[in-house]
């Protein structure tokens, strides 16, 4: 059995090593012009170029080494019609929860204000935010969004979720579809973007959406930069409508320099690290799925092509 491996960052050696350790029967080959991709049973890709994807029409499945599949689906018909399987949680959920919780607590407990005060040598307790009014709204209630909502629940934040289709999550006020977006936003103090990037969600968080949040709201984006209309966000931060943003993802990555976000103190920037791929967990998950597929069993996390995630 042969797996074709491609990573745009070139960091393939530890993946090959982990596959050898976990499934010795699997022959892992790295993509190059000498490799006949049509002789491979499976492919595992991250950031694959279209000329590679075009060669994958006969693999049994294309595994993606991440949660998001937009980098593949942007090629449209250039992506062969074989099952695409993304990573399930694989160690990312807990990292997302850590990241979002850290940002929410930073805003809620006013740590930015205390840092500014400390820099000026000021010792002055500030008023506590009212927790019942500090509602956190998560857009995108898939596995990772649900994990984040669960973590927030342990700290007693009022929680709401917004998704394409109606869902029920214990303890979470759920909203669905365009018709309920306004109601969702109106009661959200911290908006957390965890949606997949598709043609429907590109630029979804624009001026019209941000303006429906209450004045003084915060934005956290851990999904994809293109969900947010960056100039609109900047304008609303400068006008004071949005009090601050924590952004891990950007329309263009690395975030170019110069870019107005770099110089805006109310925007916190991290370099797409909110949930790094945990290689060993990912390899274990993919090996489990390959074994299941070989037995003719269904596997989780197969991407629905019509939805694009």
Given the rule CB under 6 A, which residues bind ligand OXD?
66-68
Task: Note every long-range contact of 104-107, with CB atoms under 8 Å and residues 24 or more positions apart, other chains counting.
Answer: 104/136, 104/152, 104/155, 104/157, 104/190, 104/192, 104/220, 105/155, 106/246, 107/190, 107/218, 107/243, 107/244
Please confirm, yes or no, whether 224 is among the known catalytic residues: yes
Contact 14, 307 (CB under 8 A): no
If the CB atoms of residues 66 and 244 are measured against ligand OXD, the closer one turns out to be 66
Q: Are strands 2-7 and 217-221 parallel, antiparallel or unpaired?
A: unpaired
C-beta of 241: minimal distance to ligand OXD in Å?
28
Min CB(18)–ligand OXD separation in Å:
17
Tell me the sheet residues that pair with 42: 3, 61
The Cα–Cα gap between 252 and 33 comes to 29
Closest CB to ligand OXD among 242 and 255? 255
Q: Which lies closer to ligand OXD via its Cβ, residue 212 or residue 277?
A: 277
CA distance 285 to 94: 16
Indicate if 259 belongs to the active site.
no
Cis peptide before 249 (omega within 30 of 0): no
Question: From the CB of 194, what's the least distance to ligand OXD, in Å?
Answer: 11
- Overall size of the chain counted in residues: 309
CB 99 within 8 A of CB 227: no
CB of 196 to ligand OXD, least distance (A): 9
Minimum CB separation of residue 94 from ligand OXD in Å reads 14
Catalytic residue among 224, 284, 295, 307: 224
Cα–chain center distance at 194: 5
**C-alpha–C-alpha distance, residues 234 and 264, integer Å:** 8
Which residue has its beta carbon closest to ligand OXD? 66
Q: Which is nearer to ligand OXD, 133 or 300 (CB)?
A: 300
Q: Which position among 106, 259, 272, 284 bears the catalytic label?
A: 272
Element (H, E) at 193: strand 190-193
295-92-281 Cα angle (round to 5): 45
Residue placing its CB nearer to ligand OXD in the complex, 3 or 67 = 67
Q: Residue 98 CA to chain centroid, in angstroms?
A: 13
The minimum distance between CB 86 and ligand OXD, in angstroms, equals 8
**178 and 208 Cβ atoms separated by less than 8 Å:** no
Nearer to ligand OXD, 158 or 225 (CB): 225
Catalytic residues: 224, 272
């Amino acid at each position: 059995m042969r797996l074709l491996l491609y990573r745009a960052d070139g960091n393939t050696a530890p993946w090959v090593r982990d596959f050898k350790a976990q499934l010795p029967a699997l022959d892992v080959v790295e993509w190059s012009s000498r490799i006949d991709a049509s002789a491979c049973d499976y492919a595992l890709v991250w950031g694959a170029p279209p000329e590679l994807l075009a060669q994958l029409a006969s693999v049994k499945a294309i595994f993606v080494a991440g949660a998001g599949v937009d980098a593949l689906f942007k090629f449209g018909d250039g992506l062969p019609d074989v099952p695409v399987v993304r990573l399930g949680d694989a160690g990312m959920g807990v990292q997302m929860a850590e990241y979002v919780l850290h940002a929410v607590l930073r805003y809620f407990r006013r740590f930015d204000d205390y840092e500014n005060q400390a820099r000026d040598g000021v010792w002055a307790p500030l008023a506590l935010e009212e927790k019942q009014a500090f509602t956190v709204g998560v857009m995108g209630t898939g596995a990772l969004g649900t994990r984040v909502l669960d973590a927030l629940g342990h700290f007693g934040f009022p929680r709401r979720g917004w998704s394409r289709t109606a869902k029920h999550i214990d303890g979470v006020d759920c909203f669905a579809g365009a018709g309920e977006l306004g109601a969702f936003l109106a009661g959200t103090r911290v908006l957390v973007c965890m949606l997949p990037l598709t043609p429907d969600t590109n630029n979804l968080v624009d001026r019209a959406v941000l303006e429906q949040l209450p004045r003084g709201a915060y934005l956290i984006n851990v999904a994809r930069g293109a969900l947010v209309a960056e100039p609109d966000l900047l304008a609303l931060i400068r006008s004071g409508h949005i009090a601050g943003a924590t952004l891990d993802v950007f329309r263009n990555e690395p975030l170019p320099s110069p870019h107005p976000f770099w110089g805006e103190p109310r925007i916190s920037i991290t370099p797409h690290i909110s949930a790094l791929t945990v290689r060993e967990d990912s390899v274990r998950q993919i090996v489990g799925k390959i074994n299941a597929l070989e037995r003719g069993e269904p596997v989780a996390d197969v991407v629905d092509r019509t939805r694009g995630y």
